[in-house]
């Protein structure tokens, strides 16, 4: 099949933020030869290239002087195959093309009764981006279920199979992300547990399921106020009962919808890139200083969410904090905007302070100006510097 290319494609239609000028060329990648052909064409033109998956963790540029949001070739994975490549008594190895919608993969695994990624339900985007970002939510990370990825080096045109060690996964980070644009993920293989129990580490999820809180939480993802348990909870007479994977998936999706974190054309709060800032990992002393300053500011004792984190290279003790909590305690409430930083066009989600929302008519410049304002406000109030999670769509050559 010949390579499919589209020209002058508006990036606003391909990103969840709905921002960005047009890409000069978009090449649909179904297999490695499509990618190689697109790269050859870009090189023959002396053009830049880049990679765009589901557009859910990406900030695309406004039009430049020539009218382009991306002046070059964008490689856009669209392969949709999911295949069981190996199975034993306890595990299944599931391979998915990079173009598979991530949540479709989770739904398939849950339907089959395979555990390992259930709590990652509702995360937008495609499979190819999952190892780049080491996606995680509600007590699970991709790294725990990851087996291998088939990766094309766009510089050498060579394909290699990467292990978890090769990927060098960290919190919302990987070697793939640190070399943005160089490597194109072609497929991902996950190792999932047949009939396995759901991961129930995250406090808010346990609350919704009617389970006791884990005394040693493993997730530092930010949360909103806990909602009351609903009909998905296990039988109250059996507090140790494990909910089904499908129940956990439905509960995760319900929590995400309440925060505007599930894509929904009818929900303006879902026009975002999800969590815009990562939960900061800081020295314990910095966390203590931030808390003391906030308590003086608020004139009250505060309970700052903090979670264990690996020590720094020099052995300094560190903790992971909630970015949403820091934003909120810095005086920026859900729905907040600023007349000098994007005006009413962009602001915090009305459902979750960790999401920055394009309310309509915004530009990427508006979004970045407002993000800088939020970051500065938190830094000036707490001394903690937040780092952006979505990446800028950058060209390579």
Residues 263-287 have pLDDT tens digits of 888 899 999 999 999 999 999 999 9
User: How many residues belong to the chain?
Assistant: 397
Q: What is the mean pLDDT of residues 33-47?
A: 96
Q: Which CATH architecture has domain 281-392?
A: Alpha-Beta Complex (3.90)
* pLDDT for the residue 1: 67
Contact 64, 21 (CB under 8 A): yes
pLDDT at 155 over 60: yes
DSSP letters spanning 141-204:
EGGGTEEEEEEEETTT--EEEEEHHHHT-BTTB-HHHHTTTTEEEEEEEEEEEETPPPP---HH
> For 191-234, how does the pLDDT look when each residue is reduced to its tens digit (9 = 90+)?
999 999 999 988 899 999 999 876 554 443 333 222 222 233 33
DSSP 343: B
For residues 238 and 150, give the distance between their C-alpha atoms in angstroms, rounded to a whole number. Answer: 44
State the Cα angle at 155 between 61 and 71, rounded to 5°. Answer: 25
Q: How high is the pLDDT of residue 215?
A: 54
Instruction: Output the CA–CA distances (angstroms, integers) from residue 287 to 278, 295, 305, 320, 326, in the order listed.
Output: 15, 12, 10, 9, 11
Taking the C-alpha atoms of residue 27 and residue 172, their distance in angstroms, rounded to an integer, is 27
Given this model, what pLDDT does residue 383 score? 97
pTM for this prediction: 0.87
| Average pLDDT of the segment spanning 141-164 | 97
CA distance 230 to 311: 38
Strands (E), 317-392: 318-321, 346-348, 356-358, 391-392
pLDDT of the residue at 81: 98
- Chain segment 322-356, per-residue pLDDT in tens: 999 999 999 999 999 999 999 999 999 999 999 99
Quick one: what percent of the chain has pLDDT higher than 70? 92
Mean pLDDT, the chain, whole residue set: 91
Tell me phi and psi for residue 292, to 5 degrees.
Answer: -60, -45
Residue-range domain boundaries for the chain:
4-77, 79-258, 281-392
Topology match between the domains 79-258 and 281-392: no
Architecture of domain 79-258 in this structure: 2-Layer Sandwich (3.30)
> Which DSSP string do the residues of 5-19 spell out, in sequence order?
EEEEEEGGGTSTT--
State the maximum Cα–Cα separation within the chain, in Å, rounded to a whole number.
Answer: 69
Question: Which of 63-72, 157-166, 217-226, 368-377 bottoms out in mean pLDDT, i.e. has the lowest?
Answer: 217-226
pLDDT of residue 214: 62
Q: Would you state the structure tokens that stand for residue 365, as one six-digit string?
A: 């410049």
Report, as residue numbers or ranges, the catalytic residues: 172, 275, 389
To 5 degrees, how large is the angle CA 258–CA 260–CA 265?
120
Q: How many CB atoms lie within 10 A of CB 311?
A: 12
Domain 4-77 belongs to what topology? 3.30.43
What does the pLDDT average to over 374-383? 98
């Amino acid at each position: 099949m010949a390579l499919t290319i589209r020209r002058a494609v508006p990036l606003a239609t391909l990103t969840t933020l709905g921002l960005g000028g047009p890409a000069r060329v978009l090449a649909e990648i179904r297999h490695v030869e499509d990618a190689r052909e697109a790269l050859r064409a870009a090189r023959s033109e002396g053009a830049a290239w880049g990679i765009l998956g589901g557009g859910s963790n990406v900030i695309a540029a406004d039009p430049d002087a020539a009218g382009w949001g991306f002046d070059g070739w964008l490689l856009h994975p669209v392969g949709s195959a999911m295949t069981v490549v190996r199975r034993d008594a306890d595990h299944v190895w599931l391979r998915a093309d990079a173009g598979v919608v991530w949540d479709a993969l989770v739904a398939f695994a849950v339907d089959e009764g395979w555990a390992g990624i259930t709590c990652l339900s509702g995360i937008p985007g495609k499979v190819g981006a999952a190892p780049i970002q080491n996606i995680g939510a509600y007590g699970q990370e991709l790294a725990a279920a990851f087996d291998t990825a088939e990766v094309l080096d766009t510089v050498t045109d060579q394909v290699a199979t990467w292990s978890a060690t090769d990927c060098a996964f960290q919190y919302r980070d990987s070697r793939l992300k640190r070399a943005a644009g160089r490597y194109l993920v072609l497929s991902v293989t996950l190792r999932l547990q047949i009939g396995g129990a759901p991961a129930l580490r995250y406090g808010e999820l346990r609350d919704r399921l009617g389970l006791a809180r884990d005394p040693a939480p493993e997730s530092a993802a930010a949360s909103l106020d806990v909602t009351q348990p609903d009909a998905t909870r296990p039988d109250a007479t059996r507090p140790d009962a494990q909910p089904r994977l499908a129940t956990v998936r439905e509960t995760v999706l319900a929590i995400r919808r309440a925060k505007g974190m599930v894509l929904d054309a009818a929900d303006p709060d879902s026009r975002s890139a999800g969590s815009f800032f990562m939960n900061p990992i800081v020295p314990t002393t910095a966390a203590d200083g931030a808390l003391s300053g906030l308590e003086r500011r608020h004139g009250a004792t505060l309970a700052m969410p903090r979670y264990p984190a690996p020590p720094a290279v020099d052995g300094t003790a560190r903790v992971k904090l909630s970015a949403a909590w820091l934003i909120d305690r810095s005086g920026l409430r859900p729905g907040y905007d600023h007349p000098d930083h994007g005006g009413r066009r962009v602001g915090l989600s009305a459902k979750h302070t960790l999401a920055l929302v394009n309310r309509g008519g915004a530009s990427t410049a508006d979004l970045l100006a407002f993000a800088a304002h939020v970051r500065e406000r938190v830094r000036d109030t707490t001394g903690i510097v937040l780092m952006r999670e979505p990446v800028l769509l950058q060209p390579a050559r």
